[in-house]
Amino acid sequence: MLDMTPGKVIERKGATINPCKTCEPVGAMYCALGIHKCMPHSHGSQGCCSYHRTVLGRHFKEPAIATSSSFTEGASVFGGRSNLNTSVKNIFDIYDPDIIAVHTTCLSETIGDDVQSYLMDLKIPDGKTVIYASTPSYEGSHIQGFANMMCAIINQLAQPEAIANYRVAIFPGWVEPGDCRELKRLATLLGVNPMLLPDHDNTMDTPMTGRYEYYGNGGTRLPEIRQIGGSRALLALGHITSAEAASLMMKKFELPTQLLPLPVGIAFTDQYVMALKAASDADVPTELENERGRMVDLLLDSSPYTNGKKVAIYGDPDIVYAMTSLCLEMGMIPKYVITGTPKKEFETLTLDLLGKYGLLDECVVKADTDLFYLHQLIKNESVDLLLGNSYGKYIAKAEDIPIVRMGFPVLDRYAGPLQPVVGYRGGIRMVERILEALMARQDRDSSDEDFECVM
Amino acid sequence: MSTQRERLLDKYSARVYKNRKEHITQMELGDTPDTINANTRTVPGIMTARGCCYAGCKGVVVGPLKDVCVITHGPIGCAYYSWGTRRNRAKAGDDGKNFVPYCVCTDMRPTDIVFGGEKKLTLAIEECVQIFDPKCIMICSTCPIGLIGDDVQAIARIAEQQYGITVIAYSCEGYKGVSQSSGHHIANNGLMRYIIGTGDKKPETKFSVNILGEYNIGSDAWEEERILKRCGIEVVNVFTGDGSYENMKSAHLAELNLVMCHRSINYIAEMMHTKYGIDWIKVNFIGVAATCESLRMIGKYFGDPKLIERIEEVIADELETIRDDMEHYRLKLKGKTAGIFSGGSRSHHYQKLLEDFGVETVIAGYEFAHRDDYEGRDIISEIKPDADSKNIEEITVEPDPVLFRQRYSPEEIEALRRQGVEIDSYDGMMHEMKKGHIVVDDYNYFETDEFIKKVRPDIFLSGLKDKYSVLKDGCASRQIHSYDYSGPYAGFTGAVNFGRDMTMALYSAAWQFVKAPWEMTPNLAGSLGGEA
C-alpha cells in the first residue's frame, strides 16, 4: 500500500498529493441541506453537482439532493444566465422546495457570471426564495464554502428588523446530524431555546418509513432564519468555519456573540456549557454535572492506556483542533496535527493549545498541506494512532497503525453521522473508540505470556 | 388508458415535457416504432445523474491505468472526488508501480486562475518525475483550464522532451459535451494517438485478445481473465481496469478485441479495426448464459477446433461448479422484477444476468448512452451531429502500411455474423426488451422516484445518488456502478456473487421492521361516537 511514497521529504510547489481538503461548493451544498425544504443548486457543469452529491451520500448513507445548471460549452462562452433561469423554474416546478440556495463553481466564477444580478431579474414564485453564495473552488476549501453559504443565508434571509425572541442562535459549524441533536439537548438542559443554523438533525439522517420524501422534517425553518436577528445571543462554534458568519451577525444585529471551539472534550464542552449558562442564567442541572463527572472519571480510569501515546490528527481545521484538545486531555501527544484547508489561524490556535500542555517542541502543526506529507512524516517518526477521515486508511494500512475515523468524509463506516462527538456524551463515545483501537492493538501485539485478561 | 410513461410526462411543464418525451419510451406502446433521443443536453435544474467530461476521461478511462501518474490540472475538488471512489482495482506489475491509491492535483489557487496555471503544472510534472519516476504522465484538465487558456498540450510536449517519458494532456474540461461520454471519446483519442502501436511486445500465443471497456470494478476483469486463460486465450491488455501503459503500447499486436462497455470505448475498437485490421466482438461477461455465448463467439471467431473444444470443456466445468448455488438463488429470485439505471452499458448487460435468475427487467435507463447503445449501431448514420458533439474531436486513422492485416475477408466476416458472432457491430439494448418495458435516457431523480413509486419493481439497481432514496421508498436497492463494495459480478463466479447479493438485498432481516407494531395494530382505546 502506497509503496511509492518515499520517506525523504522534498518541498513541493506544484503538486498536491493525496489531499486533505476538497473544494468550496460541497461545503455550500452541505450547509444548505441543513435548511428546511431547501434545494442546493450548483451553478456550473453538472459533474460538480454529481461529485458533491455522491460524496455527501457516501458519508451520510443518505440521499443528498441538489440540482445543477448543467453548463455546456456554449454556456461557458456566453454565460450561464439562461441556464440559471431555466433551472430555477424547473426546480420549483418539479421539486417544489421553499428555497433554492445557489452556489457557484470554478467554472461560473472563472467566466465571471454575475449570479447576483441574474437573480434580481428572475421571476420567483410567491412565497419562494432564492439565495446565492459565491464559492469559487480555487479558493479556500470546502470549509470556506460552508462559511460562505452561512454568510449568504444571513445576508439574504435574516431580516434587519427582527423581533426580540429570546432564543439563542447557535452556529454549529460543520458537524454531523447527531452533533446537532446533542448541541440542542445540552442547550435545552440549560434552559436555552436553541435555534441551530444550519440544523442537520433529521435532514441527513432521516428515519426509514417506507416512503421517501425529498425533504426531511428537519432543517432550520425559513421564518426562524428571518428572525435570527432577534435572538438574545449567538454562540458560534468553530473558529474557522463560523468566524465570518459570527462577525457578520455582530455587525448586522449587534448580538452578544461568543466564538467558541467545537465542544469536543471536557474543556471545550465546558466552554459551551458556560456560554449557555450565561445566556440563560440557569444553574447547570445535576444530570449534566453527572455526565461531565462520568467523563472525567473515564479519563482518569483509562489514562494508563492513552498516556504518552502519539497520535496524528488530520482533517478539517475546527474538528481537528477540537479533537486535539480531547487527545491532550487523554494524555496523548498530538504528534502531527494537519489540515488541507489553507488557514494559518489553524496553526496559531493549535500551537497555542499545545503550548498549554508544554508540547510545542514535540509536535508538527501544519495547515494547507496534504496526506502525502503526513505519510512522509510518519515514515520518519511513526505514531500509535491515526485520527481522521477515511482517506487516512491508506496510511494506516501501509504503516500498520490503528485508525479511528472522525470528521469528513467517512466513506467506509456506518452510523457515525447519527451520533455525536460533541458534549460530554460525545466525548465519552470518542474516548471509548480511541481506547478500543489502542487496546485492541495492544492485545493483538502482545505475546501469549503478556496477554492480559483484565486491563 | 394512458401508459405509465404518459402519466409521468404529464407532470412536467410544457417545455420540459417536450424535451423529456423524446428520452422516455415504453416499448411497443407508442404510436411510432421504438426510438429514443440520447446524448443531448440535460435540462438544467432537473437533477440529472450525469457527470461531466472530466469524470469520463479521468474517472472512467485513464484513471484505472496503474502505471500512469495522472495529474488533475485544476482546483482540488475534481481530483479529490475521483480518488479511490470507483473501485477500479489494480495490482502493481513488475515495475512495482500502482498509482491507483494516489491522487495528484495542481490544486489551483486564485493567483493561478488569474496569471495562468502553466507554471504550476510544469512544477507538478517535475515533482512527480522526481518522486515517482513514472514512464507515463497524463494531465487531465478541469473546467477553468480551457477558460484561462493554459496550453496543456505544449507543456506535455516540453515535458516529454525534458524527461524522456510519455506525457499526454487531455483537454477534458467538465463543460465539454453533454455528459461523461465526451470524456470517454477524448480519452480514447489520446490513447490511440499516443500509446497504442508504440510497443513491439508480441503476444505469446495465437489466440490473443484485448478486453476493451472493462474497468475491473470489484475484480470483474480478473474473473474474465481467469476464464479466458482457462480456455487458452491470452489477454494482452485490459482497457483499462488493471491495464497498464506498458501493455497498452503493444495492444495492436493482439488478434482480436473484445468490447464490454461499447459506449466508453467503441472509438478505440473502431480505430484499431481501421488502422490494424483487428476485428472486435461485442461480448458480455455479465450473466452465465451471456458469458457462455461470448466465449463461444470467440471460439467461432478463431475457428480452431481445439480451442472450441476447450471452451466447451471449460463451460461445462464452470457450470457444474456453480450449479447448486445458482439454483439456490434462482429459487429465491425467480419471478421478481427489476429496474436498472446505469451509465452506458450495464443496463443491457445486467438484464442478461437477471434473466439467469428468472428476474425480469421492467425499467432500464442510461445516464450517457448514445442512440446506438439503445437501438444498435445500424442507426449511427441517422444521428445528426449537434453543437455539443461537434466540439469533440473525431480523429481519423488510416490503415497502417506495415501493421494493417485483415484477419478475414468481408465474405468470411459475413459468414461469422450469420453464425451469431456479433462482429464489428452491436445491436443495442432495446431489441432485447419486451412490450411495456420502460426505457429512459438521461434519467433524473424525479423520474427515478416516480417510477419506483408507480411501477414498484422488487429491486432497483442504480448509482449511489439514487440508492438511499430508493431504499427509503421500501424498494431493495443495489449500486450497479460500484456493486456496493462487493463483486466480482462478471463470469461464472461473479454470477453467484450477484445472486447472493440480490438475495441479501431482497431478504434483509431489517425489512420486517419498517412498520412499527403500533402502526399495524388498530388503536382500540379510542373513544367511539361523539364529535369525531
Q: What is the 3-state secondary structure (H, E, C) of A315-370?
A: ECHHHHHHHHHHHHHCCCEEEEEEECCCCHHHHHHHHHHHHHCCCCCCCEEECCCE
Mutation target vs B (from A23, A56, A139, A394; most B CBs, 10 A cutoff): A23
User: Which residues of A fall within a CB distance of 8 Å from B179?
Assistant: 46
What residues contact B312, with CB distance under 8 A and at least 6 apart? none
The predicted pLDDT at position B532 comes to 43
- Using a pLDDT cut of 70, give the percent of chain A over it: 100
C-alpha distance from A66 to closest chain B C-alpha (Å): 7
Across the interface, of A19, A53, A90, the residue whose CB is closest to B16 is A90
Residues B305 and B270 in one domain: yes
Closest alpha carbon within chain B to A110:
B144
The predicted pLDDT at position B33 comes to 86
Residue A111, chain B, CB below 8 Å: the answer is: yes
Closest alpha carbon within chain B to A204:
B468
Residue A115, chain B, CB below 8 Å: the answer is: no
A273 membership: H or E segment, kind and range: helix A265-280
Domain holding B127, by residue range, is: 53-194
Mutation target vs B (from A70, A104, A316; most B CBs, 10 A cutoff): A70
Assess if residue B132 is contained within a domain: yes
Domains of chain A: 24-157 (3.40.50.1980), 168-206+214-283 (3.40.50.1980), 287-450 (3.40.50.1980)
Helices (H) and strands (E) in chain B, counts: 22, 14
B92 is annotated as an active-site residue: no
Q: Do B42 and A46 touch (CB under 8 A)?
A: yes
Residues B176 and B308 in one domain: no
Domain finish residue from B194, B210, B238:
B194
pLDDT at A141 over 50: yes
**Which residue in B20, B23, B50, B86 is the catalytic one?**
B86
Residues B129 and B274 in one domain: no
Q: Do A16 and B175 touch (CB under 8 A)?
A: no
Q: Which residue has the cell 461560473?
A: A108
Burial class of residue A202 in the structure, from the number of CB atoms within 10 Å of its CB (0-12 exposed, 13-18 middle, 19+ buried):
middle
User: Which residues of A fall within a CB distance of 8 Å from B516?
Assistant: none
Residue A117, chain B, CB below 8 Å: the answer is: no
Residue A193, chain B, CB below 8 Å: the answer is: no
Q: In what order do the strands lie in the sheet with A385-388?
A: A364-366, A333-339, A310-315, A385-388, A403-405
What is the number of residues in chain B? 532
Residues B75 and B218 in one domain: no
Residue A395, chain B, CB below 8 Å: the answer is: no
What residues contact B39, with CB distance under 8 A and at least 6 apart? B178, B179, B181, B368, B369, B370, B371, B383, B389
What residues contact A48, with CB distance under 8 A and at least 6 apart? A25, A42, A68, A105, A107, A137, B52, B77, B174
User: Which residues of A fall within a CB distance of 8 Å from B149?
Assistant: none
Q: What is the pLDDT along chain B (532 residues), one digit of tens a residue?
A: 689 999 999 999 999 999 999 999 999 998 888 999 999 999 999 999 999 999 999 999 999 999 999 999 999 999 999 999 999 999 999 999 999 999 999 999 999 999 999 999 999 999 999 999 999 999 999 999 999 999 999 999 999 999 999 999 999 999 999 999 999 999 999 999 999 999 999 999 999 999 999 999 999 999 999 999 999 999 999 999 999 999 999 999 999 999 999 999 999 999 999 999 999 999 999 999 999 999 999 999 999 999 999 999 999 999 999 999 999 999 999 999 999 999 999 999 999 999 999 999 999 999 999 999 999 999 999 999 999 999 999 999 999 999 999 999 999 999 999 999 999 999 999 999 999 999 999 999 999 999 999 999 999 999 999 999 999 999 999 999 999 999 999 999 999 999 999 999 999 999 999 999 999 887 666 555 554 4
Assess if residue B443 is contained within a domain: no
Mutation target vs B (from A51, A81, A104; most B CBs, 10 A cutoff): A51
Residues B251 and B309 in one domain: yes
Say how far apart CA A175 and CA A414 lie, in whole Å: 16
Q: What is the pLDDT of residues A220-278, one digit of tens each?
A: 999 999 999 999 999 999 999 999 999 999 999 999 999 999 999 999 999 999 999 99
Question: Which among A52, A49, A70, A48 is positioned nearest to A60, based on CA atoms?
Answer: A52
Q: Do B43 and A86 touch (CB under 8 A)?
A: yes
How many Cβ atoms sit within 10 Å of the Cβ of residue B383? 15
Residues B186 and B257 in one domain: no
Residues B128 and B164 in one domain: yes
Domain finish residue from B132, B161, B194:
B194
Closest alpha carbon within chain B to A44:
B175
Helix then strand then coil, % of chain A, to nearest 5: 45, 15, 40
Closest alpha carbon within chain B to A145:
B77
Assess if residue B403 is contained within a domain: yes
Say how far apart CA B219 and CA B241 lie, in whole Å: 9
User: Which residues of A fall within a CB distance of 8 Å from B174?
Assistant: 44-45, 47-48, 71, 107
Mutation target vs A (from B143, B173, B443; most A CBs, 10 A cutoff): B143
Whether residue A30 contacts residue A56, with contact meaning beta carbons closer than 8 Å, is answered with yes
User: Strands A129-133 and A67-68, how do they pair?
Assistant: unpaired
Assess if residue B158 is contained within a domain: yes
Residue A374, chain B, CB below 8 Å: the answer is: no
Residues B288 and B265 in one domain: yes
Helices (H), A73-160: 73-78, 81-95, 106-110, 115-120, 142-157
Apex CA A377: angle with CA A375 and CA A383, to 5°? 85
**Radius of gyration in angstroms for the set of CA atoms belonging to chain A, rounded to a whole number:** 22
Residues B112 and B207 in one domain: no
Q: Do B388 and A73 touch (CB under 8 A)?
A: yes
Closest alpha carbon within chain B to A209:
B514
Assess if residue B166 is contained within a domain: yes
Apex CA B428: angle with CA B427 and CA B432, to 5°? 90
**Which residue in B49, B52, B105, B169 is the catalytic one?**
B52
**What CATH number does the domain containing B421 carry?**
3.40.50.1980
Q: Do A68 and B47 touch (CB under 8 A)?
A: yes
B184 is annotated as an active-site residue: yes
Assess if residue B24 is contained within a domain: no
B292 is annotated as an active-site residue: no
Residues B284 and B241 in one domain: yes
User: Which residues of B fall within a CB distance of 8 Å from A75?
Assistant: 175
Across the interface, of B77, B82, B148, the residue whose CB is closest to A23 is B77
Whether residue B466 contacts residue B341, with contact meaning beta carbons closer than 8 Å, is answered with yes
Question: Distance between the two ends of chain B, CA-based, in angstroms?
Answer: 39
Assess if residue B315 is contained within a domain: yes
Say how far apart CA A319 and CA A408 lie, in whole Å: 9
Assess if residue B490 is contained within a domain: no
Residues B115 and B232 in one domain: no
Question: Which among B184, B185, B150 is positioned nearest to B73, based on CA atoms?
Answer: B150
The predicted pLDDT at position B31 comes to 80
Whether residue A129 contacts residue A99, with contact meaning beta carbons closer than 8 Å, is answered with yes
Residues B180 and B218 in one domain: no
**Which residue in B73, B184, B262, B310 is the catalytic one?**
B184
Q: What are the two backbone dihedrals, phi and then psi, of residue B242, each rounded to the nearest 5 degrees?
A: 60, 15
For range A174-187, the mean pLDDT: 98
Q: Which residue has the cell 404518459?
A: B6
pTM flag (> 0.90)? yes
Domain finish residue from B392, B425, B458:
B425
Question: Which among B149, B393, B103 is positioned nearest to B267, based on CA atoms?
Answer: B393
B55 is annotated as an active-site residue: yes
What residues 412-441 of chain A have any CB closer than 8 A to a CB of chain B?
none
Question: Distance between the two ends of chain A, CA-based, in angstroms?
Answer: 33
- DSSP tag of A453: S
Whether residue A9 contacts residue A372, with contact meaning beta carbons closer than 8 Å, is answered with no
Rounded to the nearest integer, the mean pLDDT of chain A is: 97
Residue A22, chain B, CB below 8 Å: the answer is: yes
Q: How many CB pairs under 8 A join A and B?
A: 272
Q: Do B77 and A209 touch (CB under 8 A)?
A: no
Q: Which residue has the cell 448586522?
A: A252
Structural domains of chain B, count: 2
Whether residue B44 contacts residue A90, with contact meaning beta carbons closer than 8 Å, is answered with yes
Q: Which residue has the cell 444530570?
A: A287
Handedness of CA A285, A287, A291, A293 (dihedral sign): positive
C-alpha cell at A389: 477521515
